Structure 1
Amino acid sequence: MVAGERFDLTGKTAVVTGGSKGLGEAISLTLAEAGANVLAVARDPVALGELAARHPRITSWTADILDPRFAEALAEHDVDILVNNAGTNTPLLMTEVTADVLDQMLNLNVRSAYLVAQAAVRSMLRRGGGGAIVNITSQMGHVGSPRRTVYCMTKHALEGLTKAMAVELAPQGIRVNSVAPTFIETPMTAPMLADPDFRQFVERMIPMGKTGQPQDVADAVLYLASSAAAMVTGTSLLVDGGWTAQ
């Protein structure tokens, strides 16, 4: 098999949550360009429609992944690849975190990610096993940082889930990995990086001296979803410019 063929996803169905903007947009387009039929999931039908118009193999799926009906519907689809990308962050000092903020982040970043992964696994097992799951975590799933106690907690949880799923599902041929980005230029990080002092802090913490781009993450996802990573499971691919290497 030549190098390019190892990244060929022709005939595979990939589901990308949070699929309409930022990382999800880049991941959806990259998987589609590699040949996958992509179901991009998000709550914004307009953004999804604009994304679907950019590639014939992208289909929009307007849904709230917090709704139990979404997981039920997902389990009935034929899923070969799941990219668990939906998530949020509300940076606050620990003393300022309200119960509502805590619950919101736990529900989206952890609870829904678990239930979506569970539904995808049920789909894969129903068809005899095999498949790839990529959880989008964060470098903050490996380290700590001020004003990110809840975010770090949720991403550490996803890293643990990745490892446990990988061990449990390896006998069924299902690979589970995570991609852990540093600060990437997306709509979610734009307000944070608009602060010159914060951007300077981020770029100082990254040995490569720059923030990442969505395509950097999408390329890592493509690798883990493809046969090029056939012997890779239970690991976290850090796309962090060296932040956690220090």
Structure 2
Amino acid sequence: MRGLSEKIGIVAGGGRGIGAATAKRLASEGASVVIGDIMGDWAREVADAIKADGGKAIGVDLDGTSEDSQKAIVEAAVSEFGGLDFYHSNLAGGTEGDIDALNCSLETLDKSFAINAKSHFIATQAALPVMLQRGSGAMIYTSSGAASGGSPWQVAYPMTKNAIHALARHVASKWGKKGIRANVICPGVVLTEAVKIHMTDEQVEKSLKFVPHTRLGEPDDIAAAVAFLASKDGEWVNGQVWHVNGGMQFRD
């Protein structure tokens, strides 16, 4: 990608899966990356792997639902590398007990909103002031195809993922004239470590039948999309929701 070699970015939720693949891809393109994860040791492992390959990265503990923790990871980017050009907000979870609207508890709903929506809001509040001072920046949020696919088996997760789309469009429309871009990526079925653990071979085969493609997704597929949106090549993309799903959903 053009224009990533001097960029400084954060990957939240970068200890495993999509986040780890994204951090490695960004670093391979020359970006300096701060990797945050609730599992801080995972983040540091990814950073160590990047540095072993000649890249620039640090790993830190990150509780995405904490205002102080989000501020701290932004401060780490500034103090370690001198600024912040993009923030990939890639946190998700809290789906245990998330079933239909009549049987999903308020506790489960609140937990899902905290992880899947509030965390992205807090990340935005932490990152935007630094980007505005810099005169440019990109917020890149990970959502999910569940936001638009219709999920009879869960209610909270799709609701919270839709909130991310509204947040990104708000940021893009409010601060686009000040050099800020905000975009969303909605992955389809991506075979991360967690998905491979929780999906049986039968479920994987069934999912593939619904994709007009030869395979399901890999973390590197999403990493490539994030790298584009963070780069100079993607600088005229703003306020968009990209479905990177092998064609599982056809979207305008």
Residue correspondence of structure 1 range 130-141 to structure 2 within 5 A: 130-141=136-147
How far off is 1:154 after superposition?
A: 1.0
CA–CA separation in structure 2 for the residues paired with 1:165 and 1:212: 28
* Preserved CA contact (<8 Å) 1:29 1:58: no
Equivalent pair of 1:23/1:218 in contact (CA under 8 Å): yes
The match for 2:242 is 237
Note closer, same or farther for the CA distance 1:213–1:75 as it changes in structure 2 (3 Å cut): closer
- Which deviates more, 138-147 or 220-229? 138-147
Range with bigger deviation, 183-192 or 112-121: 183-192
The one-letter amino acid of 1:70's match is: S
Distance 1:223 1:120 in 2: 19
Are 1:107 and 2:114 counterparts? yes
**1:156 aligned partner:** 162
Which structure 2 residues correspond to residues 70-109 of structure 1 after superposition, within 5 A? 70-74=69-73, 76=75, 77=78, 78-90=83-95, 92-94=98-100, 95-109=102-116
Q: CA RMSD in A?
A: 1.8
2:42 match? 47
Structure 1: 5+ residue stretches without partners? none
Does residue 29 in structure 1 map to residue 44 in structure 2? no
3-state SS, counterpart of residue 9 of structure 2: strand
The secondary structure found in structure 2 opposite 1:96 is: coil
Shift of 1:117: 1.3
* 8 Å CA contact retained: 2:137, 2:181: yes
Alpha-carbon contact 2:11-2:19 (below 8 Å) kept: yes
| Residues 88-126 of structure 1: per-residue CA shift (max 9 Å, x gap) | 152643143222221111001101111101211111113
Quick check: 1:13 aligned with 2:8? yes
Report the Cα distance in structure 1 between the residues aligned to 2:63 and 2:40, rounded to whole angstroms: 11
Kindly indicate whether the alpha-carbon contact (under 8 Å) linking 1:141 and 1:159 is maintained by their aligned counterparts in 2.
Answer: no
Shift of 1:161: 1.3
| DSSP 3-state at the match of 1:180 | strand
Q: CA deviation at 1:74?
A: 4.2
Q: Read off the aligned partner of 2:125 and give its amino acid letter.
A: Q
8 Å contact from structure 1 (residues 39, 58) kept in 2: yes
In the TM superposition, structure 1's runs of 4+ consecutive aligned residues that sit over 4 Å from their partners are: none
| Deviation per residue, 1:14-39 (Å, 9 max, x gap) | 10100110011000000111111100
Residues 1:172 and 2:178 are matched in the alignment? yes
CA distance in 1, matches of 2:226, 2:74: 22
Give the length in aligned residue pairs. 239
Aligned-partner SS, 2:246: coil
Which has the larger displacement, 200-209 or 132-141? 200-209
Q: Which moved more, 1:43-52 or 1:69-78?
A: 69-78
Deviations 1:48-100 (A, max 9, x none): 22211111212001121222212333454321110000111526431432222
Moved more, 186-195 or 134-143: 186-195
Match of residue 194, structure 1, among 193, 197, 200: 200
Distance 1:68 1:146 in 2: 33
**1:65 equivalent in structure 2:** 64
